[in-house]
Amino acid sequence: MTAAPRSGPLTEGEWVRLNDAKGRKHNIRLEAGREFSTKKGQIRHDDIIGRPEGIVVTSSLDGDYQVFRPLLHEYVVSMPRGAAIIYPKDAAHVVTMADIFPGARVVEAGAGSGSLTTYLLRAIGPEGALGSYELREDFAETARANVEQATGGHPGWTLTVGDVREVMTETEVDRLVLDMVDPWTCVPLAAERLVPGGVVCAYVATTTQLSRFVETLRAEGGFTEPVAWETMQREWHLEGLAVRPDHRMVGHTAFLVTARRMAPGHRALEKTRRPAPGAYGPDYTGPRPAGMADEPPGDA
């Protein structure tokens, strides 16, 4: 399979995105001789094939629609799903904050529906390598179809069905991205396979997952102090002088955490500030900082 063209006339087999004046969106795959049904009548695929992006086509009941190739962020939010997708706002931060660079050797644990995979493949370029691991075969098949549709295939991509902790074949990787329920169980793997200076990045949905992953990294000792954040996205309403934040927004989707691998034989500098009172109280079940007693002292 070859990658879909990014410019030039629209061709049969490509996906296009139709937008009307009310902002309604439709994604269709162009096939000669077919028609697409809308509330305003039929749109003939033959009226689109062979023409450039940015045209306006008119349906049989005089409805006008703009036609463009979908941008990647538009494609991933509408593609078929097995597992939930990583949204574009988070994928952008993974690529940027984990510093996914052209030629990088990357391992992704949890391919899901292939959303993040497409962004990673773009970032590593044709010389990079991405190994994606997915526990469920049905999710893997969905991811494979989505990625091939979006990218046309990549010579450096492999997709393996299995537990990354048991079947990972890559021995030296620059970046390890963990999209899984229990990423802390992969900290030993990250310590073993990441090159010095490499980055581990986890995508977790809850504060309990976030806390356990961070404390496991700290307890391992071979990673820099983790950095965690979340991103919220809010569009704006733009109409004349009525310019204001939209009433709806994409709020919490997940937390992202990154840390870098230390060189062999070197431990990360321990935090010099004291933990906040109660941070490691009796209800805390995760790893404790090195040198801290198992049970915090009682009140004097």
The Cα 96–Cα 79 span in angstroms is 23
Task: State the pLDDT confidence band at 4, using cuts at 50, 70 and 90.
Answer: low
Helices (H), 61-206: 72-76, 88-97, 115-124, 137-151, 164-167, 187-193
Instruction: Give the pLDDT score at 300.
Output: 39
Q: Are 92 and 114 in contact (CB under 8 A)?
A: no
Q: At 28, which CATH number? A: 3.10.330.20
The Cα 148–Cα 134 span in angstroms is 16
Please identify which residue in the block is written with the tokens 């690529």: 95
The Cα 187–Cα 257 span in angstroms is 13
Do 52 and 125 fall into the same domain? no
Using one digit for the tens of pLDDT, what is the confidence trace for 69-82? Answer: 999 998 888 888 88
Instruction: Give the pLDDT score at 299.
Output: 46
5 within a domain of the structure (yes/no) = no
4 within a domain of the structure (yes/no) = no
The Cα 175–Cα 85 span in angstroms is 20
Instruction: Give the pLDDT score at 83.
Output: 83
Instruction: Give the pLDDT score at 293.
Output: 54
What's the rounded mean pLDDT across residues 238-263? 94
293 within a domain of the structure (yes/no) = no
Average pLDDT, rounded, for the chain: 90
Buried b (16+ CB within 10 A) or exposed e, 69-86: bbeeebbbeebebbbebb
What's the rounded mean pLDDT across residues 94-99? 97
Instruction: Give the pLDDT score at 290.
Output: 58
Instruction: Give the pLDDT score at 297.
Output: 47
166 within a domain of the structure (yes/no) = yes
The Cα 208–Cα 213 span in angstroms is 9
The more confident residue out of 300 and 209 is 209
Pairing status of strand 41-44 against strand 35-38: antiparallel
Does the pLDDT value for residue 214 go beyond 70?
A: yes
Which helix (H) or strand (E) element contains residue 216? Answer: helix 207-220
Does the pLDDT value for residue 252 go beyond 60?
A: yes
Q: At 194, which CATH number? A: 3.40.50.150
- The number of beta carbons lying within 10 Å of the beta carbon of residue 42 is 13
Structural domain that includes position 247: 75-260
What's the rounded mean pLDDT across residues 136-153? 92
What's the rounded mean pLDDT across residues 113-136? 96
Task: State the pLDDT confidence band at 283, using cuts at 50, 70 and 90.
Answer: confident
Do 28 and 105 fall into the same domain? no
Do 240 and 134 fall into the same domain? yes
Kindly state the percentage of the chain with pLDDT values over 70.
92
Does the pLDDT value for residue 173 go beyond 60?
A: yes
Which two structure tokens, joined as six digits, stand for 12?
């049969």
